[in-house]
Structure 1
Amino acid sequence: MESESDVEIFKTQSSFRTPSDKSDNDTDTILNDILDLENSNANFELRATPLFVKNPTFSDISDFEGDDLSLIKASQEIENRALTKECVSTRFSKPLQEADLKRLVQSTKSKNTENKAKWAVNLFDDWKEKRNKSVQITEEPNSTFVVGELMKMDNMSLDKAMQFFIAEVHNKSGGEYHPNTLYEIVISIQHFLRASGRFVSFLDDTDFVNMRSVLDAKMKELSRRGIGINRKQADIISVEQENEMWERGILGTDTAKKLVDTLLYSIGLNFALRAGQEHRNLRIGTNSQLSLHISKDDGRRYLQYTEDVSKSNTGGLNHRKIAPKVTRAYENVDEPERCLIKIFEKYISLRPPNGKSTALYLRPKQRATETVWFDDVPIGVHQLQQVVGKLCKAAGFHGNFTNHSLRATAATRLYQAGVDEQLIVEKTGHRSNAVRAYKRTSTEQMKEVSDVVQSKLKKVSAENDGAAACEKNSASREINITAGNVSVHVRL
């Protein structure tokens, strides 16, 4: 089935600009004007539904007959207007250079992934330099292995180098990397090689079967030693902790800094966003991911978040059939001071009225005025990543609190309230069972599980005791002997 985006590819969308009129002329408007003109002159009748709407995926005009000639004539008139010397077509951009294409590709790559790849390659190069210096050259040429340049080694040499690298690499303090970290280092080196034009697959190619064996053995050996079993996760924020931050004024809307931090906190919690980049990607204006609506059922307002790109949906070839995450946050009528919609509206009203930046989060002004609290300058992604950690630190909470805590908190609260997993996934936007890692089991739930198990054991024990008693009773025997008018009853 064709998606709307697939259909749109086949529609003709032209717009033209004249020097005398700097505004864009809408093609559909021009077309309608011409059709109306033709209709008023009664040259021919027009169909009520234009053919380009009725069947938008075909544009072969050789099949047109009769009244459809009106559409041909109208289209030709549009082209004639556009081809005048005063008009400049804006349908195609100016010719690009190869460098422009490379910049386009580079701009869509994940910065985190690229940074990981650079770090992993630097780690490999540092290891290679140290190892080659420490290798003692002996009379037997096969007794040592000198590591070559990463990009210049053939697959056999690369496989061998990666084996030694996996077995010998340690962190800065001399300790072992966690199994998952070791795996990510290998994948990051693979990513670098592919990005540099060398397509290798460490986990699939037969040329790297020995490397995979060493990686698997190393990860198992580290796990047996208890290294990396406890994964570091962002702690959730309890309802009590959140209430405390509101009551102590750590969350609020009375200052510019507090307002923007509280907005990020509320958006991150209500829409289960990831750390900092998804917040940095939020925009206002025509293409904003955030939009205000009114429910037709009860008139209740809600703020809707429509995802465009994310970690699990980059919008490229591999994700073209994935529906974007759409989730809502309804107004909080019971606690209006904590209502995301009211916080959002207040923040928007205090932005620069004629600002050019479309980024949602702007830097607070050093000297705010009554009507403008923020400069027309976006807050950087690194500052955004630290917001929740700083809020929790100001509250005196101990633990690993980050922006990711908001995503984990949203999933956990839904899980503990008994919300169906499908609804939780719709809120978080997960496309796999990874959402289960975000659903943290509470102490109360653990106690309940323990009580259920123990109650089950007690019940089984009671049933077993009853069965034993029945068996004991069944062991006793009664004998009735009747002979004429004489009856003898004996119990053994």
Structure 2
Amino acid sequence: MFSMNVWRAWANSRNFKQETLLEKYKTVPVVLDATTKEELSFWMCRFVNEARRKDGSKYPPNTIYNIVTGIQRHLRDECKRPEINFFSLNEYIFASFRATLDAVMKERTAEGMGVVKHTENLTVDEETELWGKGVINKLTPKGLSYGGFFYNCKVFGLRGLSEHKQLQAEQFVMSKQEGRQHSGRVYCSSTLYNSCFEEQEVMQRSGHRSTAVRTYKRPSEEKLKEISNALQPPLPQTQSCDKEYTCPTPVKMRATSVNQTSFASTSQGVNGSNVLKIDLPPCIDTVIISKDGKDITLSI
């Protein structure tokens, strides 16, 4: 068993080190049949911190966790010790070991070990480039093969070689209309998201059964521009009256200057008469209208 091989290799190596003689327990048990819980908890804390691969590198967090569960399975099945459960909260003896294991896993995760990197999404420009360079084409067997693989990913959300192998001709319906593995599903999902389809519809087409499909959301350039534009500061406003601005009273405005103001407009009135509409700021209380040499004063 892999887990016990890792344990034995570490235990034998540790027993040759002088520092082991200075520990609470002087030797690391290679065989665990009769090891006490206290001694096992003590050495398991050292083990998860010190165990290394053959090249000297650390085990990723998930791997070290699986090794620990493998050792527990060995104790239960091979050593006939079902009473030992590292992960039971009722086992207070292993509390320090659980804390140590948790700290080691968090530390290695923070170091980037075992972190899955999401596949980069294909863009529309890259898809066009595949056609432009002839990687995908309708003239050669290889081009058709690449095209079939790519569009099975994009249209049906397939991922991995196994899902392509499971396809059957009966699953396709022919009509008159006419890569990368994991990124095909990413491209499928992000294209549907950017087309404003609901999450449930995206999950149905891509084959996801959980909200993990959300990790495939990739904003398009247009979406990013819309987001950027939405965060822009407001456009400068035209000057208006406020507490710090005192309008002269009265204000005299001639009809000849109507088109030069931002608050006046003309329209066609009843019986074809011309109407001048003036939108006054709040600070105006008197208006003088001048026409044909005559002034008419209006108090608002």
Which category of TM-score, normalised to the shorter sequence, fits these structures?
0.5 to 0.7
- Residues 1:142 and 2:24 are matched in the alignment: yes
Query: What is the aligned partner in structure 2 of residue 441 from structure 1?
Result: 219
How far residue 443 of structure 1 moved from its aligned partner, in angstroms, is: 4.9
Structure 1: gaps of 5 or more residues: 1-116, 294-300, 302-330, 337-387, 389-401, 474-492
Give the 3 Å change call, closer, same or farther, for CA 216–189 of structure 1 in structure 2: closer
- Residues 1:131 and 2:10 are matched in the alignment: no
- Residues 1:265 and 2:150 are matched in the alignment: yes
How far residue 146 of structure 1 moved from its aligned partner, in angstroms, is: 0.9
Query: What is the aligned partner in structure 1 of residue 206 from structure 2?
Result: 428
What is the correspondence of 1:88-487 to structure 2 with a 5 Å cutoff? 123-124=6-7, 126-134=9-17, 136=19, 138=21, 142-144=24-26, 146-149=28-31, 159-170=41-52, 174=56, 181-187=60-66, 190=69, 198=77, 203-204=87-88, 206-207=90-91, 208-222=94-108, 227=112, 231-252=116-137, 254-280=139-165, 282=166, 284=168, 291-293=171-173, 333=177, 336=178, 388=179, 402-455=180-233, 458=234
Q: Is the CA contact (8 Å cut-off) linking 1:267 and 1:273 kept in structure 2?
A: yes
What is the correspondence of 1:47-66 to structure 2 with a 5 Å cutoff? none
Give the 3 Å change call, closer, same or farther, for CA 137–204 of structure 1 in structure 2: closer
Q: What letter is aligned with 1:142?
A: K
Q: Distance in 2 between matches of 1:229 and 1:136?
A: 31
Give the 3 Å change call, closer, same or farther, for CA 189–142 of structure 1 in structure 2: closer
Q: Distance in 2 between matches of 1:246 and 1:271?
A: 20
Give the 3 Å change call, closer, same or farther, for CA 242–219 of structure 1 in structure 2: same
Deviations 1:118-167 (A, max 9, x none): 5x6665554444334436553x6724451535798676665444432332
How far residue 451 of structure 1 moved from its aligned partner, in angstroms, is: 3.5
User: How many aligned residue pairs are there?
Assistant: 238
- Normalising by structure 2, what TM-score? 0.58
Root-mean-square deviation over aligned CA pairs: 4.4
Q: Distance in 2 between matches of 1:407 and 1:246?
A: 19
How far residue 170 of structure 1 moved from its aligned partner, in angstroms, is: 4.7
Per the alignment, in what secondary structure is the counterpart of residue 160 of structure 2?
coil
Per the alignment, in what secondary structure is the counterpart of residue 24 of structure 2?
helix
What is the correspondence of 1:35-54 to structure 2 with a 5 Å cutoff? none
Q: Is the CA contact (8 Å cut-off) linking 2:25 and 2:39 kept in structure 1?
A: no
How far residue 182 of structure 1 moved from its aligned partner, in angstroms, is: 0.6
Q: Distance in 2 between matches of 1:416 and 1:233?
A: 18
Q: Distance in 1 between matches of 2:231 and 2:109?
A: 29
How far residue 404 of structure 1 moved from its aligned partner, in angstroms, is: 1.1
How far residue 211 of structure 1 moved from its aligned partner, in angstroms, is: 3.2
How far residue 403 of structure 1 moved from its aligned partner, in angstroms, is: 1.3
Larger radius of gyration: 2
- Normalising by structure 1, what TM-score? 0.39
Per the alignment, in what secondary structure is the counterpart of residue 276 of structure 1?
helix
Give the 3 Å change call, closer, same or farther, for CA 176–243 of structure 1 in structure 2: same
Per the alignment, in what secondary structure is the counterpart of residue 243 of structure 1?
helix
Q: Is the CA contact (8 Å cut-off) linking 1:411 and 1:439 kept in structure 2?
A: yes
How far residue 434 of structure 1 moved from its aligned partner, in angstroms, is: 1.5
How far residue 405 of structure 1 moved from its aligned partner, in angstroms, is: 1.3
Q: Distance in 2 between matches of 1:279 and 1:164?
A: 46
Q: Is the CA contact (8 Å cut-off) linking 2:49 and 2:104 kept in structure 1?
A: yes
